[in-house]
Amino acid sequence: MWIRMNNDNVQASLIQNLRDADCSQQTIDDFLAFDGNTKAQLKLLANHRQQLLDLIHKQERCITCLDYLVCQMNKQAQAAPRS
């Protein structure tokens, strides 16, 4: 199994992948500590994935609010009498 840390290059690549996935150092350390416990590693990754999705959904709500505000302002500007 490639998750097992038996090679420095494999471990370095794995750590880089976790960093690229925006895992904290604590998450990376926890993942490495679970070496050989695939179930625990998968649970850790699933939790991190959920945190990322929650962040995306929060940002989407912010964008929706901004879009609504811009739309309302544009409607108000179009309805205002021109001088």
Confidence of residue 3 (pLDDT cuts 50, 70, 90): low
State the pLDDT at residue 6.
Answer: 62
Residue type, 81: P
Alpha-carbon distance of 19 to 13, in angstroms, equals 10
pLDDT digits (tens, 9 = 90+) for 35-79: 999 999 999 999 999 999 999 999 999 999 999 999 999 999 999
pLDDT at 7: 79
> What pLDDT is stored for residue 1 in this prediction?
45
Instruction: Give the range among 6-10, 16-20, 58-62, 75-79 with minimum mean pLDDT.
Output: 6-10
Residue 1's closest CA among 34, 43, 49, 27? 34
